[in-house]
Amino acid sequence: MDLTANRRQVLAGAAAVVGASTLAAGSAHPASAHGSDTATPFPLGVASGDPLPDSVILWTRLIRDRRSSRPVEVSWQVAKDDRFRRVVRSGKEWARPELAHSVHVDARGLEPGREYFYRFKAEGQLSPVGRTRTAPHRHARPDHLRFGVASCQDLQNGYWPAYWGLADEDFDVVFHLGDYIYEYDPNSRFADRRHTSPQTLGLDQLRTLDDYRNRHAQYKSDPALRAAHAAGAWVVTWDDHETENNYADLVDELDSGAAHQTPAEFSRQRAAAYQAYYEHMPIRAHLRPGRDGMRIYRRFDFGLLARVNVLDTRQYRTDQPGPGDLGPEPFGAGNTSGTLTGDEQERWLAHGLVHSPARWNVIAQQVMMSRTRFPNPTGQPPLTVVNLDQWDGYMPQRQRLLQLLADKRVDNPVVLAGDIHSTWISDLKLNFDDPASPVVAAEFVGTSISSDFPVAFDAPLKQANPLLNPHVRYFDGLKRGYLRCDVTRESWRTDVRVVDTIDVREAPVYTSASFAVEAGRPGVVPA
């Protein structure tokens, strides 16, 4: 089979082709590309993630009757070919009701840096086929690493044509930097994109484990997202909307009335959100069901070419300074005790950067690091404001990190981010107010898959950036899409991949801009 030519057919949910090495005798029922095949136990598809040189996490979730309380035995296979004639690993797992009948297989004993195919079988039926790839050996020197960066997929705001393009990219890995689901009540201009109803309507948030499970399942039912997961391995991390907008540690969002919660109440909500996240993601993590907290910051080495440090800037952060997102810059500058990562994660990151053997050192995280001044939308003093929910609200910690990169001469640091639903490509400097200050890193902030950036802000920011933010090399708030990064020992290239509309399920994906970083020269230049 020509996998490239048939990628959409195979990866959007077509059943595995039964070859000489089938799991067992029995017919395969294709999972519908539109999620309408109720016969299959695999309507949410399959996914893989957290690739290591010798292993990868394989994921699926069986959809059972709500009253079903029995575990279901699930078989799995990993093969070198998509017809499963060369099966290299296989086994059985239990899909248990206490984890929503989800399955996480840590498929070990694989070869480094190679492509594999995988599938599951339950109740006599085969799942869709997934494709994955292991990381190179830790001492390998691969010629290149090619990966995608995605974030922010508000289902109610529109469709996800960008994911069809991402599924066709043949990436080594995809990094999803948060806001995988949104917690808001049903409200969409598209009749088929209205959110599931939570147990309590009117709060504009989710509360219970069933609330979060249902919302994750709804998002996973989208055929473009299923295709993108089945096309390759993902590394995921959360931001705020997987739990609740703008929460910080156990500090609830700034809301009132029935929507507001004490830290003890919010802890129970967060525990439900984290469990549902684990149940629906191909992530290597330790979940303690019903207990709050789950470590998801972790590190991936792609041979000696790139080290990627994946952060969690929600679970351990202190609350942002000021009463809202936009506020005076001194609020962030004076936030000396503020942290986005917590002390332990900050030390972990510093150690991983300083002692890295890699040519490129990547910080993959949620919110924009670059100092970014916005014209005050009120027109009142101060004339400029910053987003206090980003690193601008935590300037002392940002300065510590940038100083570390400079003082320890960390090789070729690059920061990746999402969250702001727009594309920003910037130089990170020790002193953003000094044109002569050295550039210490590059930052690539990807736009959203479907979440809104206010159209009215686009033109004013494009006009203001050369004066207010001269270190910003590129900005666009109009297009939705993802980033495509191609890394070699000599250079890093980022292509901004976008669609013109999210009003339809499929739209052409094209490159709207390309930028590069030369190894040893941290400034961003047009490619």
The string of pLDDT tens digits covering residues 259-269 is 999 999 999 99
| pLDDT for residue 75 is more than 50 | yes
Interval 387-438: pLDDT, tens: 999 999 999 999 999 999 999 999 999 999 999 999 999 999 999 999 999 9
Average pLDDT, the chain: 92
Amino acid type, 104: H
pLDDT at 510 over 90: yes
Residue 127 pLDDT > 80: yes
Higher pLDDT, 3 or 255: 255
Cα–Cα distance for residue pair 360/287, rounded to 1 Å: 31
pLDDT of residue 401: 98
Phi (first) and psi of residue 96, to 5 degrees: -105, 145
8 Å CB contact between 293 and 274: yes
Residue, of 8 and 92, whose pLDDT is higher: 92
State yes or no: pLDDT of 7 exceeds 70. Answer: no
Q: What is the pLDDT of residue 431?
A: 97
pLDDT beyond 70 at 56? yes
pLDDT band, residue 74 (cuts 50/70/90): very high
- Mean pLDDT for 455-459 is 94
Mean pLDDT along residues 207-236: 98
Q: How far apart are the C-alpha atoms of 373 and 464, rounded to whole Å?
A: 9
Domains 40-134 and 138-526 share a fold: no
**pTM of the predicted protein model:** 0.93
Q: How many CA atoms lie within 13 A of 90 on its CB side?
A: 16
Average pLDDT over residues 348-363: 98
Which DSSP symbol is given to 248?
A: B
Q: Any idea what DSSP says for residue 351?
A: H
Query: How confident is the model at residue 39, as a pLDDT?
Result: 58
Among candidate residues 209, 147, 188, the one with its CA nearest the CA of residue 486: 147
Q: Are 317 and 341 in contact (CB under 8 A)?
A: yes
Q: Is the pLDDT of residue 36 over 80?
A: no
Q: Cα(410)–Cα(7) distance, rounded to whole angstroms? A: 39
CATH architecture of 138-526: 4-Layer Sandwich (3.60)
Residue 383 scores a pLDDT above 50: yes
pLDDT at 378 over 90: no
Between CA 422 and CA 214 the distance in angstroms is: 28
Q: Which of 54-58, 206-210, 212-216, 376-380 is the least confident region? A: 376-380
At residue 66 the predicted structure's pLDDT band, cuts being 50, 70 and 90, is low
Segment 346-375 shows an average pLDDT of 98
CB 129 within 8 A of CB 230: yes
The more confidently predicted of residues 11 and 173 is 173
Comparing C-alpha atoms, which of 453, 276, 433, 299 is closest to residue 361? 299
Please give the radius of gyration of the chain, using alpha carbons only, rounded to the nearest integer.
22
Is residue 9 scored above 70 in pLDDT?
A: no
| Cβ contact 133:159 at 8 Å | no
Please state the CATH superfamily assignment of the domain spanning residues 40-134 in this structure.
Purple acid phosphatase-like, N-terminal (2.60.40.380)
Q: Where are the domains of the chain?
A: 40-134, 138-526
Residue 73: Cβ-neighbour burial (10 angstroms; 0-12, 13-18, 19+): exposed
pLDDT of residue 4 exceeding 80: no
Whether 20 has a pLDDT exceeding 90, the answer reads no
